[in-house]
């Protein structure tokens, strides 16, 4: 028997490793995880996917290559720390205060990653034999384009997985739906002119404002999902103009569109194209270029599926509310589920409201509860 693994100490070790975007540096965390599994050789396969010198993802398969497997998918990167002076504790110190761990990535999502890791290690340590494959998937770059998930989706590494668990923070509530993300960037090119002679120019800023308003009006629909709430569209970045007395020749707009399962992104892009054409007619000589930053569909699992019912049962047995919910954020599932169309659940320690925040934190109790639920899921479903 090998030593038992402490999920809280592992979480703190993970938080101490800086995997902030944009650099990522996930390879250092991959090395830590590889070392944990290196002494187990029977029925275990480790596949590292290198993205660049300091960035990699890792897929661990435990058990036989047969259909019916289960995949836990967690990302290793975090968002930036921001201004360190605004933090009460060093964001990579993993400070433990009153049964709460503070640090960047503590809740999003190194707590879930640590819990899924220790759950598997506990079974390996006990000599448990999985009858079906258990996949532990550690991805790079989820916070900025799902770098690792996209690489894994192009492989056949998860071909035997019949269900997915995403241990993102949900306060250990079973989430069976997530919003889609359609991020768009518009470049507008008009014509420079003196501010006293606007008729000689093509005002790219005014055109950008009109385009933004038109798209919002055109896509204003009364859509609501019972778990995800409203469809949303927001203009979140705007650039343009050089001086007050110069008609601007260039402008840039970025939109964040969060969609629902019943919405088709291709249809939405067609509507946006029609808006672009209308603005081009209103501003002769104007040019507009559209760039799609992210295009990930909204997803949902069948609430009545056996998989979801079992997950609810494990949550209920832990003394927690088992009512299903939805998450407005997107996960690696948005990349993997369209390729592997299987049931999925998002369930993890900590509250999602702490993600990306100054003084990000997670309760020790929540991590320990997640560990026990993950162990039950792994034992019963593989």
- How much is the average pLDDT of 210-231? 94
Other CB atoms within a 10 A radius of the CB of residue 352 amount to 20
The pLDDT value recorded for residue 3 is 54
Residue found by looking up tokens 């029925």 in the block:
43
Instruction: Identify any residues that bridge with 44 across adjacent strands, giving them in sequence order.
Output: 62
The pLDDT value recorded for residue 1 is 42
Alpha carbons 324 and 312: distance in angstroms, whole number: 8
**Residue 2 confidence (pLDDT) above 80:** no
Domain locations along the chain: 7-178+299-381, 180-296
Closest CA to 78 of 11, 33, 26: 26
Other CB atoms within a 10 A radius of the CB of residue 10 amount to 21
Give the tens place of pLDDT for each residue, 80-113. 999 999 999 999 999 999 999 999 999 999 999 9
- How much is the average pLDDT of 210-219? 97
Residue 109: asked if its preceding bond is cis (omega within 30°), the reply is yes
**Residue 17 confidence (pLDDT) above 60:** yes
**Residue 72 confidence (pLDDT) above 90:** yes
Using CA of residue 74, residue 374, residue 92, residue 361, what is the dihedral sign?
Answer: positive
**Residue 53 confidence (pLDDT) above 70:** yes
By CB neighbour count within 10 A (0-12 exposed, 13-18 middle, 19+ buried), where does 264 fall? exposed
The rounded mean pLDDT for the chain is 95
Q: Could you tell me whether strands 180-189 and 287-296 are parallel, antiparallel, or unpaired per DSSP bridges? A: antiparallel
Task: Classify 180-296 by CATH class.
Answer: alpha beta
Q: Radius of gyration (Cα) for the chain, nearest Å?
A: 23
Give the tens place of pLDDT for each residue, 342-356. 999 999 999 999 999
* Topology of the domain covering 7-178+299-381: Aminopeptidase (3.40.630)
Give φ, ψ of 336 to 5 degrees: -85, -40
**Cβ–Cβ < 8 Å for 375, 122:** yes
CA angle 281, 285, 290 (to 5 degrees): 75
Cα distances from 286 to residues 139, 203, 212, 272, 303, in angstroms, run: 42, 9, 15, 16, 49
**Residue 370 confidence (pLDDT) above 80:** yes
**Residue 335 confidence (pLDDT) above 50:** yes
Report the half-sphere exposure of 241 (CA within 13 A, side-chain side). 12
Classify 150 as helix, strand or coil: helix
Highest averaged pLDDT of the listed ranges 38-47, 139-148, 280-289: 280-289
Alpha carbons 75 and 370: distance in angstroms, whole number: 16
The pLDDT value recorded for residue 4 is 66
Alpha carbons 294 and 76: distance in angstroms, whole number: 20
Per-residue pLDDT band at 71 (split at 50, 70, 90): very high
At 373, list the tokens. Answer: 């639920």
H/E segment holding residue 125: helix 111-125
Q: Could you tell me whether strands 55-62 and 44-52 are parallel, antiparallel, or unpaired per DSSP bridges? A: antiparallel
Q: Could you tell me whether strands 44-52 and 96-97 are parallel, antiparallel, or unpaired per DSSP bridges? A: unpaired
């Amino acid at each position: 028997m090998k030593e038992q693994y402490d999920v809280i100490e592992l979480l703190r070790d993970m938080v101490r490793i800086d995997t902030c975007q944009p650099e990522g540096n996930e390879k250092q965390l991959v090395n830590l995880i590889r070392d944990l599994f290196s002494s187990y050789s029977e029925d275990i396969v480790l596949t590292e996917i290198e993205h660049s010198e300091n960035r990699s993802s890792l897929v661990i398969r435990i058990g036989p290559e047969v259909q019916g497997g289960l995949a836990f998918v967690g990302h290793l990167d975090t968002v930036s720390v921001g201004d360190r002076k605004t933090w009460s504790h060093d964001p990579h110190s993993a400070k433990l205060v009153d049964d709460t761990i503070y640090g960047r990535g503590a809740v999003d999502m190194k707590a879930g990653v640590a819990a899924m890791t220790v759950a598997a290690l506990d079974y390996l340590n006990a000599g448990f034999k999985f009858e079906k494959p258990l996949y532990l998937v550690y991805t790079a770059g989820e916070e900025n384009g799902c770098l690792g998930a996209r690489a894994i989706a192009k492989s056949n590494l998860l071909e035997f997985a019949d269900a997915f668990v995403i241990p993102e923070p949900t306060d250990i509530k079973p989430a069976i739906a997530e919003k889609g993300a359609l991020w768009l960037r518009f470049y507008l090119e008009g014509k420079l002119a003196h501010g006293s002679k606007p008729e000689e120019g093509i005002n790219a800023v005014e055109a950008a404002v009109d385009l933004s308003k038109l798209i919002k009006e055109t896509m204003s629909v009364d859509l609501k999902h019972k778990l995800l709430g409203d469809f949303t569209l927001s203009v979140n970045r705007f650039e343009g103009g050089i001086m007050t007395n110069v008609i601007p020749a260039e402008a840039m707009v970025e939109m964040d569109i969060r969609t629902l399962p019943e919405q088709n992104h291709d249809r939405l892009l067609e509507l946006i194209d029609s808006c672009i054409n209308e603005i081009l007619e209103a501003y002769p000589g104007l040019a507009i270029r559209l760039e799609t930053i992210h295009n990930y569909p909204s997803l949902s699992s069948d609430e009545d599926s056996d998989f979801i019912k079992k997950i609810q049962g494990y949550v209920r047995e832990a003394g927690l509310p088992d009512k299903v919910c939805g998450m407005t954020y997107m996960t690696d599932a948005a990349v993997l589920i369209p390729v592997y169309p299987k049931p999925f659940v998002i369930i993890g320690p900590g509250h999602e409201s702490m993600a990306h925040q100054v003084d990000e934190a997670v309760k020790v109790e929540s991590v320990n509860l997640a560990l026990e639920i993950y162990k039950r899921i792994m034992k019963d479903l593989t």
